[in-house]
Structure 1
Amino acid sequence: MGMRWLRDWLVYLLVRFFVCLVQAVRPETCNVFARWLAVLACDVIGVRRRTVDENIHLVFPDLTPPQRRLLARRMWEHLLLMVCEIAQAPRKIHETNWRHYIDLHRHRDAVRYLLDQRPIVLVSGHYGNFELTSYVIGLLGFPSFSIARRLDNPFLERYVHRFRSANGQFILPTDGTSGQVDEVLRSGGTIALLGDQRAGPRGCWVDFLGRPASCHKAVALFTLISGAPLLVCYGRRIGGPLRVKIGVEAIADPHQAGDHLSGVKELTRWYNAALERIILADPCQYWWLHRRWKGDPNDRRRRPPSDRQAKPNGWKRQAA
């Protein structure tokens, strides 16, 4: 117990030192570091190289190996810069200057639903800077509740919780959280979820970017049972560091009938199609290291109950 406490404490100190270092330098400097570290992670160390390459090849089978490698490197550059942006956001983006960094798309629709007396479900993916998106939404006065697994390191858990809750981003644990979610929905609150989380063989299987993917049924059930509008959102980088476009891609409102609201499968397929459009607009900003397509829908029938638990452009021409 003593050694684990010491290890967690040292890791926490290392993270805090990194955050202080990032906050002390200019965002443009972080951008340069992110580019060099992306080369290191992608081309030298090869972090999750096989998973990233397989995922890109599944979605874009026409890309050559050099083109896939360039896309992977751009992904790492985006991901590493995202980490720096999260550390810098509290010091750089405030209530009085957020317009210098953030562009809003369909914000009138978003605000109208956020001010509605009904609950609301915000769905995004491992795309763009989704953490900064949640930060800005909270900064603008719209608190939200997310469902996430607690970190094993208690010091980091408290630190991350303080960062997120400072502007009204509250985290509900994945275990035993159904009662809390029901309370949030009954009180007209906002639930923010990542819609591209893998749900295992017992999930709802739909096509995602051309391949079967398992999705959590709860995402659709929150809307179908509570009547909460479901908004598919994104936070896409549109320029240099901390320059993000936050927008709404699609809205499913139970007060407006449609075939996509006829069941869990239909609504799950609908919001995954919206996520596809977001990702294909700039594939470099998606987390291709994410094991989104792991598993087989046929496993649902094979496993016993005891086992339950478009084409890119722009960058492509540069990879000759």
Structure 2
Amino acid sequence: MKNLAQYLLVQFVISIVQIMPIEMCAKMCRFLAWLVADKIGFRRKVIRENILGVYPDATDERIEFLTGEMWYHLFLMGCEIAHAPRKIHDTNWRKHVFIRDKVRMTEYLIDYRPLIAVSGHFGNFEMAGYVTGLLGMPSYTVARKLDNEFLDRFLNNFRERNGQFILPKDGSAPAVQKVLESGGILTILGDQHAGTKGCWIDFLGRPAACHKAIALFTLSGNAPMMVSYCKHTDKPLHFEIGCTGVADPLKLEDSLRDVKSLTQWYNDQMGEAILDQPEQFWWVHRRWKEKPVRMTRKKKQVQESAAA
């Protein structure tokens, strides 16, 4: 009953959002961002730590600005998901979406080989899959199921509306293999924390753990990797979709032909887009949860030496 009540409440809110002009929604998002960032201070400590980890010299004013803008873009993303099915269609998408590097992106999107499309918690990443599906290029996304089955079904219905099919995070290996063998498009959020046993690299100047499988798809599966982004532009429900880099197995430099190097490469590419507009990155996201085992051991050894 609790899950159903939550779902009905969310549906009620979405219904209200859908009858509001998107410009009014944007103003509401400004208010909600101010409320959550300044008055409630939700996850303020995590956000502050993440920002200072990347910008150690950031002033309080800068931190407050990035925090408020992040919440604004996050709330706006929710409103845009509610509006997109009614406002963005195959006949008018050009009014809402500007595709940078469209020649290079199209080349790989329609390639006979499978494609690994990597993005991060930045801008409105949900709209990238929506738009490519709208253009007749369906994709498959690995995503964790929400605890609320009703909300999970609702979000997946949005994603699958134009052909963005969802693969459950647990037990998806056989399905992923079929996608790659059929030359499909696999979209992955590359900034997910992979635990202490992941591939440790440098992300925005801090150690971060990544899933090794992402690089292995390219290195062993003949699947080009395209690092892309979808960010807000000057108006609500207007986006820029672009590509910061492509790692093609047929043209790959020798320096990128191992898991760690390729993982570092795509994180650098994601970081390029994020640092260009850091206010659209999800600083609330727990990207840097733990430290590498070797760093933890070294710290422990130092403490033991000091105590001796």
Fold match, TM over 0.5?
A: yes
The TM-score, its normalising length taken from structure 2, stands at: 0.94
Q: Which residue of 1 aligns with 2:228?
A: 233
TM-aligned CA distance change 1:260 to 1:197, over 3 Å: farther
SS at match of 2:183: coil
Structure 1: which 4+ aligned runs deviate by more than 4 Å?
299-302
Query: Deviations 1:141-162 (Å, cap 9, x if unpaired)?
Result: 1111111111222222222222
SS at match of 2:98: strand
Unaligned runs of 5+ in 1: 1-5, 303-320
Counterpart pick for 2:240 among 236, 241, 245: 245
Aligned partners of 2:201 and 2:148: how far apart in 1? 35
Query: Deviations 1:39-60 (Å, cap 9, x if unpaired)?
Result: 1000100010000011111111
SS at match of 2:118: strand
Counterpart pick for 1:218 among 213, 218, 227: 213
Counterpart pick for 1:163 among 154, 158, 161: 158
- Cα distance, 1:7 vs structure 2: 1.2
Aligned partners of 1:126 and 1:260: how far apart in 2? 27
Deviates more, 1:157-166 or 1:121-130: 157-166
Counterpart pick for 2:25 among 22, 26, 30: 30
Counterparts in 2 of 1:115-154, with a 5 A limit? 115-154=110-149
Aligned partners of 1:260 and 1:253: how far apart in 2? 13
Q: Which letter maps to 2:114?
A: P
Deviates more, 1:205-214 or 1:63-72: 63-72
Q: Which residue of 1 aligns with 2:266?
A: 271
- Cα distance, 1:259 vs structure 2: 3.2
Contact 1:119 1:190 in 2 (8 A): yes
Q: Which residue of 2 aligns with 1:54?
A: 49
User: Given the alignment of the two structures, is residue 202 of structure 1 paired with residue 197 of structure 2, yes or no?
Assistant: yes
Query: Deviations 1:140-194 (Å, cap 9, x if unpaired)?
Result: 1111111111122222222222211110011101111111100100000010000
Aligned partners of 1:71 and 1:188: how far apart in 2? 39
Aligned partners of 1:109 and 1:62: how far apart in 2? 37
Aligned partners of 1:208 and 1:226: how far apart in 2? 25
- Cα distance, 1:257 vs structure 2: 2.7
Q: Identity of counterpart residues, as a percentage?
A: 51
The TM-score, its normalising length taken from structure 1, stands at: 0.91
Q: Which letter maps to 2:82?
A: A
RMSD: 1.2
Query: Deviations 1:228-267 (Å, cap 9, x if unpaired)?
Result: 0000000111111011000111000001030343100010
Q: Which letter maps to 2:233?
A: I
Aligned partners of 1:117 and 1:212: how far apart in 2? 36
